[in-house]
């Protein structure tokens, strides 16, 4: 009789929990698919556990025996229900023991379902294999034993009081310690770095970053900080491979070719008519004899040397700024372009930057060096363009080319005069073209977006959130061709494919740069906009930059 009473009471509880479960299902309909599996699985486990406790059986084998003792016919339906629930419970417990892949640091954002729903065993097996494959192929995670040791030895009431731990890194391979700062940021960070080496050796990198999703600023001033821990082999860039050297060499040779091609194209008034027609007429099909271009190669070399010299000077600026900071850089990957000779180069950081000031200094050093040489060539070229002794070295270019830049067009107009620019063609020295192309390339690379020099500088000076705002504005202006003119589309595609990802954080990604660095970056961005902003027709007609034809 006691058994029948227990079974009847279990049936009543079963119905109560099933009603509660149905109400919970209604609230779970808006959850993502993987969260629904967690919800349903955890709810069913809790429900079955409570039924088993009501029956007074904690072991699966005891449950089968107790149910077998019930012999009343009028209770058969209850017995069958309990048995079916118990069988499902066995399957769930077995599946749970082999598929538990929850994050050991308790993050809601990256934790995997600890129990896989037994509704579809085939899907569950596939899910299990996927989790195991991701664990195998993913980066090596921080050792839990080291996490406990570091938490106990590094942090405390005098430095940083840890209140929570979350995954850190692109794939959750690190640990992010959240809590309350107990001192000056820079002093605490320096102390923690020293103690980390004493406790764990040269095994990990410690990052000080702004606390994600912080509810408010730090009471001591500024943003709240947190500390991220990553293995060195995971956080530091790998060495340059042989194939990367080969690719860099091929790209450099192609850039030499595109620079020579630019020098040949600058002599368009001297080229054979069939060559000009092939490169300017869209209906031209048959290519001309390339041997016709050989006599013009020697005259094209000075301009090619100028373009290549600006590119190399730009990269030299990066390397000279990186050496005192003990920052390693990769070899430059030059990007050839037939319009400007080159779109610049992709240079990667091969070591973690210590702070944001270092990021700003190295990022600005290259463009400033390239711009300095470009301005020198541009100024000397404009001066030689007005000298009668250099008349034999001048080349004629369409005057509408000076409408491509508001800043450079106004400078050229002020130097060469109204009569020289208000014509169909303008006679200029090749150095003007080299300086113009160098300044335009430098301006493109200083746009505040992605991993460009300008993007790195803005990220270091104003933070990652500011880079997002600047980047969206830049993409919009490039898409509308407000900046860059006809080069806006190819440059935008190049950035989206190769340079869209922001630079990784510095070790100390919290301490802000000085006011003069922010002013320097802001001034550079203004000059970039003035350089890439085309001259609109009304202004061009008014000041006499080129011939504006109104239809």
The per-residue pLDDT for range 101-125, each reduced to its tens digit, is: 333 333 443 444 443 444 444 456 6
The per-residue pLDDT for range 454-484, each reduced to its tens digit, is: 999 999 999 888 899 998 999 998 888 888 8
Task: Find the range with the poorest average confidence among 198-202, 206-210, 392-396, 517-521.
Answer: 392-396
Nearest Cα to 169, choosing from 230, 249, 259, 248?
230
Per-residue pLDDT averaged across 523-548, rounded?
Answer: 83
What is the distance between the alpha carbons of residues 533 and 548, in angstroms, rounded to a whole number?
17
Three-state SS for 234-274 is: HHCCCCCCHHHHHHHHHHHHHHHHHHHHHHHHCCCCCCCHH
Beta carbons within 8 Å of 328's beta carbon, 6+ residues apart = 322, 349, 350, 351
User: What is the structure's pLDDT at 465?
Assistant: 86
Supply the angle between the helices 356-385 and 406-416 in degrees, to the nearest 10: 30
For residues 506 and 353, is the Cβ–Cβ distance under 8 A? yes
Q: Which segments within 154-201 are labelled E, that is strand?
A: 160-168, 174-181
Beta carbons within 8 Å of 215's beta carbon, 6+ residues apart = none
The DSSP H or E segment spanning 87 is helix 76-99
Per-residue pLDDT averaged across 490-498, rounded?
Answer: 87
For residues 63 and 57, is the Cβ–Cβ distance under 8 A? yes
User: What is the structure's pLDDT at 498?
Assistant: 82
What is the distance between the alpha carbons of residues 357 and 355, in angstroms, rounded to a whole number?
6
What is the distance between the alpha carbons of residues 429 and 431, in angstroms, rounded to a whole number?
5
Per-residue pLDDT averaged across 317-331, rounded?
Answer: 92
CA distances from 8 to 55, 79, 244, 294, 314 (A): 10, 10, 74, 101, 84
What is the distance between the alpha carbons of residues 462 and 100, in angstroms, rounded to a whole number?
42
User: What is the structure's pLDDT at 379?
Assistant: 92
User: What is the structure's pLDDT at 298?
Assistant: 80
The chain-wide mean pLDDT, for the chain, equals 76
If one counts every other C-beta atom within 10 angstroms of the C-beta of residue 294, the result is 10
Task: Find the range with the poorest average confidence among 110-124, 346-360, 517-531.
Answer: 110-124
What is the distance between the alpha carbons of residues 434 and 310, in angstroms, rounded to a whole number?
8
User: What is the structure's pLDDT at 549?
Assistant: 55
Beta carbons within 8 Å of 91's beta carbon, 6+ residues apart = 118
Q: Please give the model's pTM, rounded to 2 decimal places.
A: 0.71
Stronger pLDDT, 320 or 283, i.e. the higher one:
320
Q: Which two tokens stand for residue 214?
A: 């912080």
The per-residue pLDDT for range 407-425, each reduced to its tens digit, is: 998 888 888 888 877 778 8
**Does the pLDDT at position 53 exceed 90?**
no
User: What is the structure's pLDDT at 15?
Assistant: 52
Sequence length of the chain is 551
Nearest Cα to 170, choosing from 131, 197, 139?
139
The per-residue pLDDT for range 151-179, each reduced to its tens digit, is: 888 888 888 988 888 888 777 778 899 98
Dihedral of the CA atoms 503, 505, 511, 516 (nearest 10)? -10
């Amino acid at each position: 009789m006691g058994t029948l009473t227990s079974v009847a009471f279990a049936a009543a509880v079963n119905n109560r929990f099933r009603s509660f479960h149905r109400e919970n299902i209604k609230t779970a309909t808006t959850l993502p698919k993987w969260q629904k599996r967690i919800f349903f699985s955890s709810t069913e486990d809790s429900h079955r556990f409570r039924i088993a406790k009501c029956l007074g059986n904690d072991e699966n084998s005891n449950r089968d025996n107790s149910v077998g003792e019930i012999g009343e016919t009028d209770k058969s339906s209850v017995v069958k229900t309990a048995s079916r629930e118990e069988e499902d419970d066995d399957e769930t417990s077995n599946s749970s023991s082999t598929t538990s892949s929850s994050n050991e640091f308790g993050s809601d954002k990256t934790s995997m379902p600890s129990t896989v729903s037994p509704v579809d065993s085939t899907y569950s097996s596939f899910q299990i294999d996927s989790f195991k494959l991701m664990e195998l192929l993913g980066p090596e995670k921080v050792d839990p034993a080291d996490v406990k040791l570091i938490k106990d030895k590094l942090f405390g009431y005098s430095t940083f009081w840890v209140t929570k731990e979350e995954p850190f890194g692109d794939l959750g391979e690190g640990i992010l310690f959240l809590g309350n700062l107990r001192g000056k940021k820079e002093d605490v960070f320096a102390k923690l770095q020293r103690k980390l080496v004493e406790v764990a050796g040269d095994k990990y990198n410690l990052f000080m970053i702004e606390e994600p999703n912080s509810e408010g600023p730090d009471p001591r001033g500024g943003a709240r900080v947190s500390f991220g821990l990553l293995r060195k082999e995971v956080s530091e860039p790998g060495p340059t491979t042989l194939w990367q050297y080969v690719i860099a060499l091929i790209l450099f040779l192609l850039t030499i070719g595109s620079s020579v091609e630019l020098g040949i194209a600058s002599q368009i008034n001297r080229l054979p008519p069939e060559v000009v027609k092939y490169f300017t007429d869209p209906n031209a099909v048959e290519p001309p004899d390339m041997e016709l271009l050989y006599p013009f190669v020697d005259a094209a070399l000075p301009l090619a040397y100028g373009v290549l010299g600006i590119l190399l000077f730009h990269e030299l600026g990066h390397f000279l700024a990186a050496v005192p900071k003990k920052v390693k850089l990769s070899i430059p990957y030059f990007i050839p372009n037939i319009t400007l000779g080159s779109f610049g180069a992709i240079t990667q950081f091969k070591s973690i930057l210590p702070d944001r000031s270092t990021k700003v200094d190295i990022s600005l050093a290259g463009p400033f060096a390239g711009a300095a040489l470009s301005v020198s060539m541009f100024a000397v070229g404009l001066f030689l363009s007005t000298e009668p002794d250099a008349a034999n070295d001048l080349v004629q270019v369409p005057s509408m080319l000076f409408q491509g830049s508001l800043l450079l067009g106004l400078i050229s107009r002020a130097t060469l005069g109204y009569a020289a620019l208000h014509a169909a063609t303008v006679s200029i020295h090749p150095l003007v073209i080299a300086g113009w192309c160098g300044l335009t390339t430098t301006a493109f690379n200083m746009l505040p977006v992605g991993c460009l020099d300008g993007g790195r500088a803005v990220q270091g000076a104003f933070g990652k959130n500011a880079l997002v705002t600047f980047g969206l504005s830049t993409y919009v202006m490039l898409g509308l061709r407000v900046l860059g003119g006809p080069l806006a589309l190819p440059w935008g595609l190049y950035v989206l494919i190769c340079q869209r990802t922001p630079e990784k954080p510095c070790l100390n990604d919290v301490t802000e740069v000085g006011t003069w660095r922010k002013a320097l970056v802001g001034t550079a961005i203004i000059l970039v906009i003035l350089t890439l902003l085309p001259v609109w027709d009304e202004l061009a007609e008014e000041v006499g930059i080129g011939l504006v034809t109104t239809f």
